[in-house]
Structure formats: structure tokens, C-alpha cells
Amino acid sequence: MKIHEFQAKEILRAHGVATPRGRVTDDPAAAATICEELGGRCVVKAQIHAGGRGKGGGVKLARSPEEAREIAGRILGMRLVTPQTGPEGQLVRRVLIEEALDIARELYVSVTLDRHAGKPIVMASAAGGMEIEEVAARDPGAILRQEVEPLLGLLPFQGRALARGLGLAGATAGKAAKLLSALVGAYLATDASLVEINPLLVTGGGDVLALDAKMTFDDNALFRRPEVVAMRDLAEENAMEVEAGKFNLNYIKLDGNIACMVNGAGLAMATMDIIQLYGGEPANFLDVGGGASQEAVKNAFRLLVSDPAVRAVLINIFGGIARTDRIARGVVGAIEELGNVTLPVVVRLEGTNVEQGREVLRQAPFKFIVAEQMADAAEKVVAAARGGA
Amino acid sequence: MAIWVNGETRLVVQGITGKEGTFHALACRDYGTRVVAGVTPGKGGSTVGESAGVAGIPVYDTVAEARAATECNAAMIFVPPPFAADAIMESAAAQVELTVCITEGIPVADMLRVKAFLADHPTRLIGPNCPGVISPGMAKIGIMPGHIHTPGGVGVISRSGTLTYEAVWQLTNLGLGQSTCVGIGGDPINGTSFIDVLQAFAGDPETEGIVMIGEIGGSAEEEAAAWIAANYDRPVVGFIAGRTAPPGRRMGHAGAIVAGGRGTAAEKMAAMRAAGLHVVESPAKLGETMAQALLAQRAQRPVQAPRVPRANGG
């Protein structure tokens, strides 16, 4: 789960991370007032979940409260296009108004999971403001790494070593070490999967602050983090994905026109892959769950066909514990119940009682296109999508 | 032969009185697994799966009691996510040798603790969020449909569930049986890695070749490929699911996410090719590619050609 920058900063402040002073608002007039309170100069930052906001024109310096009002008025309500939003952009509903600070250095720090080590890891680099992937590609040696014992957090000497590695000294190094330890504390205490501060600011006066903040959370741990769940902003998420979540379906919208419904995440990915291999483009990822019950199939189907881009549907189910003929009856029942299905539907069933399953499909009033293997299914659905039937 | 699961396996099922736990405990027993005990705190003294002429599986309050009473040497966990980490550590503390955790949705932070705890215990953990382990014809610990498998000489390792069944079904239909199939699970932190399974297969003379099914995310497939290049000379067929997955989106499994440009299918497939694996672009070709690779291997090393039934075309 993702949250906004201003929310991440709230969490981080509560754990002792220094951040610039500021407030969030959806009102240009309030932006001017906040700017006034901050001393008449401020930064106006669009609050959307996607990154790269500066590049898209969503972060601007205002030299007066009047300018803050004018900039906020322009940014609020705009569809901000960044490298991460896609061409349609994301509607800006709120701006964060923060004090403008003098910048001596911009650094990078993050806390994330090192899957290989099986531990959290702090990464730091002196190249703040740059994407860490870019730094990693250009000069991997420039990234400092510090594994964290999850039960201990970042130990003081580890924080000092990182600060030193970033070229900090004296009181500033002490402040940085303290901030890093607080950052790891916040990561561990909230079941975060990522905390990223880019840039971490060193001011002319030697203070160290989180100028930007990004946090994402382990979806599996949300059951015990109600304070994090309360920060969820559904308006930032794809409407169809939110709808799918209500039915416990695992759905991700993609750009193609072939909808697919599959049981199991691995098989669902493999189905998307084989569609592409045969020259088609998947419209989505959708895992209906291992058992593929009639209810799940029905809800999934309704969701898939509500995507206007879809030209054909591929249902790929491996009947394991649940017998194939039962699943076939579920698919037929779901389509009958939905009524007015006009899209071509290719069904590939495999597993136990597969012959009976295919027979159920052939006998159904709805004209399914029955496929025998994954390759056959991919070929048929790509042809059906092209035919526009 | 087989790895890890066989006729000697004595299984305890943690969470046996839940709907899933009961269903799959009995399915394992029907397949031939010796299911000797169940554990559900507070339900000790009851039994599960008793019917005319069939004794029920005794339920205990703790794994330690189950172990003392039944000498169970393997555990299968169906405990809900908030309590699953505790269940894994309980079986480890009771010195159970093999623990298979089926539960999906365990928080990463919990698994980090489990990982640290297991470092001091003899238990091998498989999973979580996995279909389990099956040695066809002998025993299964998990939720996979037993009847799609057939005994033979191909080892299967995978991060996913139904995609593994797909591969197994292709093999079975070509007459290629399996020695053992291991689902290591789709989570970012798991107990057993590809390399752990590869090492075990390498030590099993009857495993003639391996099908390895990876997914986007992490670098476990790259590490496994490097291990294969250095240590394993029997044929390995590889596939990576998720080449069409966009970066930054979690594809169902918690571990299946391309982060920071790393963990892509293209990178993994390239690493596998460089390591000499038979990489398939199409998941529909896993079985036939294995069949061809085994034939080629036998042509090269006829002495090694043993006991896979009808491998030459089926």
C-alpha cells in the first residue's frame, strides 16, 4: 500500500525524523496563509502517489504568499503527468506547502528489504535527487549498504558509519546518524516495505532533514496497522483494482485488449506472457484464486468486461483439487447469469475430468471458443481480439 | 528415490481442525502420506477423519506433545497468517525435521523473525505461500492434486502453484514421471531456496533432470543459475513467469514485483541461458523441452540412461 508524501512525513516525524515545517491543503487561499506563516517563501508540492513530480511541474518554489496562492491554484486540479503516471496523468487534489530551506547538500537514503540477506537494509548515497537505480547502474560502488538486525534496529555505530561514508562530520554527522536510526525505527514499527528519502537535505547551518519522503507498506501486515490503513487514498488507485479488491480478486489493469482470468498468480503471469508471445497484449492480470469458484468467476468476468478496451477474453483454469467439469459448469453458470455477453470468450481448461469439462462448454448455449492447450488458447484469443467479433 | 518426502514421512498437520486443514490432511492421507497427528491449541484429545474402518488422526494441543506421542518428523501448516509464524517456530522448537507452510499472506516482518529463529534449529522450512512437496507414488505434503503426478526421474522446483501443476501435467502426459516436486513459495522471504532444492536433487541419483520455474522479482533465479553452471551437469529446463509484468506492480505473489529495474524476466532468462539451461519462452513447452533435453543427454551419456518410462516421445 502506498501513501502520500505528507502522510509519510507525519509518520516519520512521530518517530523522530526531522522534516521541513509545512502543512497540506486543497485551497489556494490557505496556501498563501501557510506560506505567510512559514516566512513568506515556500515550496508548493503536488500530492499524488506517483513519483517524478518535479519533472512534471508539480513542485514549485514560491517567493511570496501571493505567488504561493497562484501556483497552488494552478497545480490543484491539474492532471499531473510524470514518468510514473502514464500519459493520462493523475489528478492533483492536495498540495503540501513547506518552508524553503537553503540547500548545502542533497543525499539519498532508503530502508528496504534485502531478500537475499533476509534482513532490512539501509542504502545511502551522496547523489541525492538522482534515482537510486540510475546511481546503481552508473556507479554501484557509490551506494553504501548497511544490513539491519530486525530485532535491534540500526545500531548507533552503524548510523555513524553511514554518516561518515556520506562525507558528513561533526554535529551534522551526529544528526544524520540519529535521523537514520529513527528512519529504521519507523520502517520496523509500521511494517513498511520501503522508506525512501530522496533527497535528504543538509542545510547551510548543518541541519539534516527529510526533504522528500516516500513510504510503502507490506499489504500482508495491514491487518495489524489500522493507523496505516486509515491513510489509504482510494482516489489514487485504479477504480477497477479497488472494485476487484472488494471481491478478494487479485486484479491489475494493463494496457492491452485481451482480458484474462486465471487461477493462481504464477499461471496468470504465464498466461499474460504467452498471449504476448502470440502477438497479443494482455488487458490485465487477474488471479481468481486456486479453486476458481462460480462466484469468483462471475465477479471476475463482470469486472473484466467493464474495461472498454477489452476485445476478447481468455479463461485459463487448471483444475487441480476442484474438478474441471465443475469449474466448467461454474463458468457457464456465470456467463448465463450475466446475460448479455457479446465478447468472444476463449476457454482453456486442463486437469482432472478435462474431457467432461470441455463437453460442458460445448453444450452450453453461449458459444465459447474451446481451446485445448495454452498455446492453442493464446493463438485463438489473439485471433478473436483481432477479428473484433 | 526422492528428496525430503517419502514413505518414512510421518506428518503432523498444524491447524488440522480448520476447514482447509482438515480437507488437505485427509487428501494427503488418501494419497498415501502417513498423517500421524494434528495440532490445534485447545482441541487436544479430539480426532479428525474417523470413519468406518479408518482410525481418526489424533489431535494434540502442541506440536511438542504430538512429536512425543507420534514421532512425527514433518509438519504441514494451515494456520491463518497472523499466527502462522508462531506455528512455524513451534514446529522448529519441537525439532520437527521438515516444515511445509502452506499459509499465504504472512507479514514479511514475521518471516524475518522466523528466519532468525530457524538459524538455531534443525528444521528445514518450505514455503510459506507454497503448494508443498510431493514425491509421486510415495507421499505428499501439500495442496497439490496428487493424481496429476506420476513417479519418475524429473525433479520440479517452482515458486508458484497452478503453474507447477501445468508443468507436471505436461510431463505426465509425455510419460515423464517426477522424482519430487517442490513448491518453494511466492513470498520474498522463504525457508528453502532454489539452490537448496537443486543441491538435494543433485544428491539424488534418480533425478535425471530438473524443471525450474521462476518468477519476476528478487535474484534467486540468477543465483540458482550460477549454482547450476558451477555444480550441475544434468539437463535443467527453465521458465520465468512475468515477462509482461509492468515494473513496480505486485503480480499476485508478494515476491513477484520488479523493483528498481531489477528482477525482470529478461534478466533472469538471460542468466539462465548463460548458465546452460534450456530456457523456454512459452510455458506450453516445458514438458516437450524436458523430453528433448533428456533424449539429448542420453545420446551423450548412454551409461547414465536409466529408468524413466517412455521418455522418448510418450
What is the reported pLDDT for B252? 76
Asked whether the beta carbons of residue B188 and residue A264 sit closer than 8 angstroms, the reply is no
Q: Are A12 and A4 in contact (CB under 8 A)?
A: no
Residue at A386: amino acid letter: R
- A259 sits in the region (left: phi over 0; alpha: psi -120 to 50; else beta) called beta
Asked whether the beta carbons of residue B218 and residue A115 sit closer than 8 angstroms, the reply is yes
| Other beta carbons within 10 Å of B68 | 12
| Other beta carbons within 10 Å of B282 | 16
Tally helices (H) and strands (E) across chain B.
9, 14
Give per-residue pLDDT as tens, A44-64. Answer: 999 999 888 988 899 999 999
Q: In chain B, whose CA is at the least distance from the CA of A375?
A: B284
Contact residues for B105 (Cβ-Cβ < 8 A; gap 6+) = A220, B81, B129, B254
Asked whether the beta carbons of residue B254 and residue A268 sit closer than 8 angstroms, the reply is no
Q: In chain A, whose CA is at the least distance from the CA of B105?
A: A220
Please give the Cα distance from A280 to A380 (Å, whole number).
Answer: 10
Local confidence pLDDT in tens for the 314 residues of chain B: 799 999 999 999 999 999 999 999 999 999 999 999 999 999 999 999 998 888 999 999 999 999 999 999 999 999 999 999 999 999 999 999 999 999 999 999 999 999 999 999 999 999 999 999 999 999 999 999 999 999 999 999 999 988 999 999 999 999 999 999 999 999 999 999 999 999 999 999 999 999 999 999 989 999 999 999 999 999 999 999 999 988 878 787 777 777 766 789 999 999 999 999 999 999 999 999 999 999 998 887 655 444 554 444 33
Between B143, B244, B253, which is nearest A265 by CB?
Answer: B253
The verdict on B284 touching A (C-beta cutoff 8 Å) is yes
Please give the Cα distance from B24 to B244 (Å, whole number).
Answer: 33
What is the reported pLDDT for B301? 66
Mean pLDDT of chain B: 92
Closest-CA residue to A99 (of A13, A41, A161): A41
Cα-flanking dihedrals φ and ψ of residue A273, to 5°?
-60, -45
Closest-CA residue to B233 (of B281, B300, B181): B300
Give per-residue pLDDT as tens, B237-282. Answer: 999 999 998 887 878 777 777 776 678 999 999 999 999 999 999 9
For the record, the C-alpha cell of A60 comes out as: 514549485
Half-sphere exposure at residue A56, Cβ-oriented, CA atoms within 13 angstroms: 25
What is the reported pLDDT for B303? 52
Specify the higher pLDDT residue, A222 or A83: A222
What is the reported pLDDT for B302? 56
Cα-flanking dihedrals φ and ψ of residue A35, to 5°?
-60, -45
Between A116, A285, A321, which is nearest B252 by CB?
Answer: A285
Q: What is the mean pLDDT of residues A63-91?
A: 93
What is the reported pLDDT for B112? 96
Contact map slice: B 241-260 vs A, CB within 8 A: 241-246, 248-256, 260
Known active-site residue A108: yes
Q: Which of A5, A67, A108, A379 is catalytic?
A: A108
What is the reported pLDDT for B313? 39
Q: How far is CA A210 from CA A67, A160, A214, A338, B31, in A?
A: 24, 18, 10, 52, 58
Q: What percent of chain B has pLDDT over 70?
A: 95
Residue A75: helix, strand or coil by DSSP?
helix
User: Using a CB-CB distance cutoff of 8 angstroms, which residues of chain A are in contact with residue B242?
Assistant: 269, 272-273
The verdict on B83 touching A (C-beta cutoff 8 Å) is no
Annotate A178-200 with b (16+ C-beta within 10 A) or e (fewer): bbbbbbbbbbbebbbbbbbbbbb
Alpha carbon A32 to its chain centroid, in Å, reads 32
Asked whether the beta carbons of residue A118 and residue B261 sit closer than 8 angstroms, the reply is no
| Other beta carbons within 10 Å of A372 | 13
What is the reported pLDDT for A268? 95
Q: Are A79 and A139 in contact (CB under 8 A)?
A: no
- B242 sits in the region (left: phi over 0; alpha: psi -120 to 50; else beta) called left
Please give the Cα distance from B131 to A320 (Å, whole number).
Answer: 11
User: Using a CB-CB distance cutoff of 8 angstroms, which residues of chain A are in contact with residue B186?
Assistant: 265-266
Give per-residue pLDDT as tens, A302-329. Answer: 889 889 999 999 999 987 766 788 888 8
Which helix (H) or strand (E) segment holds residue B82: the answer is: helix B81-93
Q: What percent of chain A has pLDDT over 70?
A: 98
* Active site members of B: 253
Interior angle at CA B162, CA B123 and CA A362, nearest 5: 160
Q: How far is CA A333 from CA A160, A360, A363, in A?
A: 64, 11, 12
Q: What is the mean pLDDT of residues A19-28?
A: 97
Please give the Cα distance from A241 to A254 (Å, whole number).
Answer: 11
